[in-house]
Amino acid sequence: MGLMNRALKWGWLLYLRLKVASLLWRQRVRSGLTREQAALSLDIAERTLRNYEIGKCSPSLKLIAQMMAVYKASDSTIFLFCAMGPLPLFARNFLKN
């Protein structure tokens, strides 16, 4: 695999991670919860939530579902997360080839 193709694939994976991070942050803000309140409701550390919201790491689909419930997200937003959720996994498998 060429260096350029590999760079493009990694760039795509980073784009997806940052897109999910941005959506998570926006949903929390729209719900009116502070990061501290949301972290307590989700039973995770505030720093962990921050890392998810800046794209440093990705939450599991189960945690995303919990976030959407805590944030009282609309059905369309939940659908978007479910649609995007498997993509990073697909991308990781794609990069192995």
- Tell me which of 3.40.50.1860, 3.40.50.800, 1.10.260.40, 1.20.140.10 is the CATH number of domain 22-96: 1.10.260.40
**Interval 54-87: pLDDT, tens:** 988 888 878 888 898 899 887 556 556 555 554 4
**Interval 18-31: pLDDT, tens:** 888 888 899 999 99
In angstroms, what CA-CA distances link 30 with 51, 64, 68, 73, 85? 19, 16, 11, 9, 21
Using pLDDT thresholds of 50, 70 and 90, give the confidence band for residue 3: low
Task: State the pTM of this model.
Answer: 0.71
Q: What is the mean pLDDT of residues 41-48?
A: 96
Which tops the pLDDT comparison, 40 or 9?
Answer: 40
Using pLDDT thresholds of 50, 70 and 90, give the confidence band for residue 15: confident
Please enumerate, as own/partner, the contacts of 90-97 that have beta carbons within 8 Å and a separation of 24 or more. Answer: 91/9, 91/12, 91/13, 91/16, 92/13, 94/9, 95/6, 95/9, 95/10, 95/13, 97/1
